[in-house]
Amino acid sequence: MKAEKEKVTRLLKTARGQLDGILKMVADDRYCVDISNQLMATIAILRNINKDVLHAHLGSCVEEAFEKGDSHQKVQEIMQIIDKLSK
């Protein structure tokens, strides 16, 4: 992985902590809107992590494939990711 591992790891641990907190909120029968707000915050963190990972991938792996003249597979992978993100 070409993204900043320490940053990605820290953010993933933050998201995991938020998920643990959300599970406790559900168990404690907390207010639905509060749970929803925490879910959206966690989703935002995961989206940002994914963006960073994909930016790093484009800036390294895909760029390298283009330089080597072997870009078809990388382009196909990115197209599949775009399709998944647009659902």
Confidence at residue 23, expressed as pLDDT on a 0 to 100 scale: 98
- Each residue's pLDDT, cut to its tens digit, for the chain (87 residues) gives 777 999 999 999 999 999 999 999 999 999 999 999 999 999 999 999 999 999 999 999 999 999 999 899 999 999 999 999 998
- CA 12 to each of CA 29, 35, 44, 45, 79: distance values in angstroms, whole numbers, following the listed order: 25, 19, 11, 8, 25
Domains of the chain: 5-85 (1.20.58.1000)
Q: What is the DSSP string of 25-83?
A: HHHTT--HHHHHHHHHHHHHHHHHHHHHHHHHHIIIIIHHHHHHT--HHHHHHHHHHHH
Round to whole Å and give the CA distance between 51 and 80.
15
